Each structure stands twice: as structure tokens, then as C-alpha cells.
Amino acid sequence: MTGSPPEASSPGRTLMARLDELGRISADSDRLNRQPFTPAHRQAIELVAGWMRLAGMSTRVDPIGNLIGRYEGQDPTAPVLLIGSHLDTVVDAGRYDGALGVLAGVQVVAALHDAEERLPFAVEVVAFCDEEGVRFPTTFLGSKAICGTLDRKVLELQDQAGITVGAALRAFGGDPDALASAAYPPGSLRAFLEVHIEQGPVLEAEDRPLGIVTAIQGQSRLAVVLDGVAGHAGTVPMGHRRDALAGAAEIALLVERRCSATPDLVGTVGRLEVLPGAVNVIPGRALLTLDIRSPSDLLRGQAVAELVQAIHQIAAARGLGCTIAREHDQPASVCAPGLQRVLAQAMRAEGIQVKYLPSGAGHDTMAMAAACPAAMLFVRCQGGISHHPLESMTLPDAEAALRVLLRALRLLALPKARP
């Protein structure tokens, strides 16, 4: 079992050292890639569970592969305060996205444990199995299961190897037939708090270590398949081609143009697959993904509808077959005002100027809002870089986040405190 690394001499140093250690658990030797229901996921669970037990928590893995540590409170029947974030990563990820929220939760429970302090309610720390939605075309598998909002149809979704969520989960040791038991009973969750790097430039630009998230923008994910005709790159005249990649390129530029022209709207074509993918063959098929986001669900809905229509028109004009699958829609989510006030009070008590900001990135907090008041504390990340190995944060900011989170827990423990 891994304890606090020897060089760690403070909660912040322990946190940073553990983030480094956890950040080395990956399916790939040359980059951080930790997908749900994989050996790397299992290894990460074992490492974090060991740290949870060191912090006086009991640990369990629920039917969908969430790791949950529980630190008992004075009243075992009181609604639980849940802290956490996700254990999965994107491909070639940074080591703070997700992991910070899990290990910050472990660290503040360790502080309570070291002080032999029991709050009126149990504190549970959760490491969600899948938030990024990189392996499977769906997101928030872990947090939706905990909220009881996970549609069983997702079990049929496949990864790029054709393995379904259900099969991968079963092979991982999870239980797709017991998903309902992963849900916390209504009213059993007092609140959910997530510490997360900002993944944007605002806090650094304003020289702020921390920020309270006001709202998280809504997101739509679509998968487009374009079917043309593969052919000889040398013999097929340009006017006779049905080039799937050329169609995809026109669509990618349309997404960029449409979203650049609209404030509060962002659009990304993140994945593009070209088949057969040979230098001298006209692409017969192109698969591309769209990620459209906005704080306004109306704006996002209008943009998606217009883009879908325009994509079909581009395909028709080029003689391409076209299918568009709506894979994911998550409405914008306002963070619980009461919890925002507690975080603000905690920041002031720690001598940190309060800063509010929206989140461009999606987070488990949006899913958790279905079950309880949910809020987020952002931590400055250098250059706003994320979903990239250069993702980074500083020791002082880690210390500040831990102090504010611990202070917030104690504020929530005060009589009459309501999130």
C-alpha cells in the first residue's frame, strides 16, 4: 500500500506528490490514458483506495466501477456529504483533470481523521468511473448511476473495438444488472462538492488561486458518418469524385464559422477518421464528431439544429450518404447558490478574495445536480492548459484549495447550516 510519499511534509505536498503518482497510471507508457473498465482503471482504484483507508475511510467499488470511500460521522443515518470527481482521463491527458477532485477529497478527510474529528454527517469521497466519455460515446456514467439517472440503454453503446459498456463493465468485475443499487436513495445525499482545475485562463489572468463556479455550460455531442466512393487518386477526374473527407472538411469549417460568429457558443470537431486512409485512395468514408456548447440551452439547440440541416445539405450537394447520431445532450447547470455561499464564506475565512466564474468544461457536478445541491471550486491552472500533458497547478494553490474545502466542510457541519 502506498502511504504519503516520504518527501511530502504538508497536505499540499502530499496531494501534489500523489497526483504525480496517480498520473503515472496509464494504459500507455508514453502518455496518460486511463479509460474506464481497464487495467489502468483497476490499478488507479487500488492506489486511491489505499490512500482512502490511510485516511480512516472504509472503501467499496459500486456496480458501475465508482470507487467510494466513507468517513463516518456522528450520525450514520444523516444525509452524506459527497466530495469527488472522475478517475478516467482523456487521451494524452494532464494529471490534474479529475484526479485533483478525488485526491483533494481524500486529503481533507485525512485532516479530519488526523484531528480525530467527526462531523455530524458522514463524508464520502467518490472517484467516478467515467466522466470524459472518451472510450464510449456517452459521459457521466458514474455520476448518473449514483443519481439514478443512468439510462440502461447506454450499456449497449460500443467502444471503437466494438465492446459494449455492459460487456466491459462485466469483464471489469462490475455488475450491469445491479446498476439500480448504485443509486443513492433520494434524500440520502446532503450535497456534492467537486474541486477541479479551471481548464481555462480566467483565474490566472486575474491572478486568483481559486474560483467558485456559478454555472456549467450545456453540451451536445454528435457523430457524423459520410459515405462517398473510394477510388483511385490518380485516375478519377475531380468532377467525378464523391470524396468523404472533402465533405468532412467543409463541415469542420462550417462548425468553426458558425460558432465563431456567435458569442457564448463554442464548437469543436474533435475526432476525424478517414477510410480507407491510404495516400493514393480517395476517401470513401469519413467519421467526425461535433461537440457544441453554450451557457444557453436555447442557443445551443438552435446551433445544433442549423448545423444538422447544413450538414445534410453539404452531403447532398456532394453526393455523399450522411447519418448523424445525437450521442449526448446535457443541459446547462447552475451550481447550488447555497453551496456557492458556503464556498465564498470559506474563501473569505481563509483570506482569499472571492471570485465567481462559469465553467466552459463539463463536469460530474452537472449530473450530480439531479440528486442534491452541487457546486464546484476551481483551482488556477497554468496557461489554462488542460486535456494536455502540460496541464499544471502550483503547490500554494493546492494548499489554498485544501484549506477552503476543509473550511467549507466545517461550515456545513455547523448547526442550521444548509447547502
The entry of ligand HGY, Mn ion, none near residue 73 (CB within 5 to 8 angstroms by kind) is: none
Shortest Cβ distance from residue 268 to ligand HGY (Å)?
9
Write the single-letter amino acid at 147. C
- Give the one residue of 11, 94, 98, 419 binding Mn ion; rule: CB under 5 A: 98
Decide if residue 88 touches ligand HGY (CB under 6 A): no
Is 190 or 293 the residue whose CB approaches ligand HGY more closely? 293
Query: Which residues, in sequence order, are CB contacts of 309 under 8 Å at separation 6+?
Result: none
Cell of 336: 447550488
The entry of Mn ion, ligand HGY, none near residue 65 (CB within 5 to 8 angstroms by kind) is: none
Shortest Cβ distance from residue 128 to ligand HGY (Å)?
11
Q: How far apart are CA 415 and CA 120, in angstroms?
A: 9
Q: How far apart are CA 140 and CA 150, in angstroms?
A: 8
Decide if residue 11 touches ligand HGY (CB under 6 A): no
* Coil vs helix vs strand at 166: helix
Q: How far apart are CA 23 and CA 15, in angstroms?
A: 12
- Cα 178 to its chain centre, rounded Å, is 23
Q: How far apart are CA 292 and CA 272, in angstroms?
A: 16
Cβ burial, residue 68 (10 Å; 0-12/13-18/19+): buried
Shortest Cβ distance from residue 132 to ligand HGY (Å)?
5
Residues present in the chain in total: 419
Shortest Cβ distance from residue 197 to Mn ion (Å)?
8
CB 198 within 8 A of CB 384: yes
The entry of Mn ion, ligand HGY, none near residue 88 (CB within 5 to 8 angstroms by kind) is: none
Decide if residue 36 touches Mn ion (CB under 5 A): no
Cell of 102: 478525488
Is 194 or 350 the residue whose CB approaches ligand HGY more closely? 194
Size of the site for ligand HGY (CB under 6 A): 4
Alpha carbons within 13 angstroms on the beta-carbon side of residue 42 total 9
- Give the one residue of 94, 362, 373, 419 binding ligand HGY; rule: CB under 6 A: 362
Give residue for cell 464528431. 289
Write the single-letter amino acid at 158. Q
CB 175 within 8 A of CB 63: yes
Q: Which range in 9-17, 64-72, 96-104, 310-318 contacts Mn ion by CB under 5 A?
A: 96-104
The entry of Mn ion, ligand HGY, none near residue 98 (CB within 5 to 8 angstroms by kind) is: Mn ion
Residue 140 falls in which region: left (phi positive, over 0), alpha (psi -120 to 50) or beta = left
The entry of ligand HGY, Mn ion, none near residue 227 (CB within 5 to 8 angstroms by kind) is: none
C-alpha pair distances (Å), 21 with each of 18, 112, 379: 5, 23, 20
Antiparallel, parallel or unpaired: β 80-86 and 189-197: parallel
Is 98 or 419 the residue whose CB approaches Mn ion more closely? 98
Is 315 or 398 the residue whose CB approaches Mn ion more closely? 398
Decide if residue 97 touches Mn ion (CB under 5 A): yes
- Give the one residue of 102, 304, 361, 376 binding ligand HGY; rule: CB under 6 A: 361
Decide if residue 227 touches ligand HGY (CB under 6 A): no
Is 4 or 386 the residue whose CB approaches ligand HGY more closely? 386
Shortest Cβ distance from residue 175 to ligand HGY (Å)?
25
Is 165 or 322 the residue whose CB approaches ligand HGY more closely? 165
Site for ligand HGY in 116-155 (CB under 6 A): 131-132
The entry of Mn ion, ligand HGY, none near residue 200 (CB within 5 to 8 angstroms by kind) is: none
Q: How far apart are CA 65 and CA 45, in angstroms?
A: 9
Shortest Cβ distance from residue 198 to ligand HGY (Å)?
11
The entry of Mn ion, ligand HGY, none near residue 362 (CB within 5 to 8 angstroms by kind) is: ligand HGY
Q: How far apart are CA 266 and CA 264, in angstroms?
A: 7
- Cα 26 to its chain centre, rounded Å, is 17
Shortest Cβ distance from residue 244 to Mn ion (Å)?
29
Q: How far apart are CA 138 and CA 128, in angstroms?
A: 14
Size of the site for Mn ion (CB under 5 A): 2
Shortest Cβ distance from residue 99 to Mn ion (Å)?
9
Interaction site with Mn ion (CB under 5 A): 97-98
Interaction site with ligand HGY (CB under 6 A): 131-132, 361-362
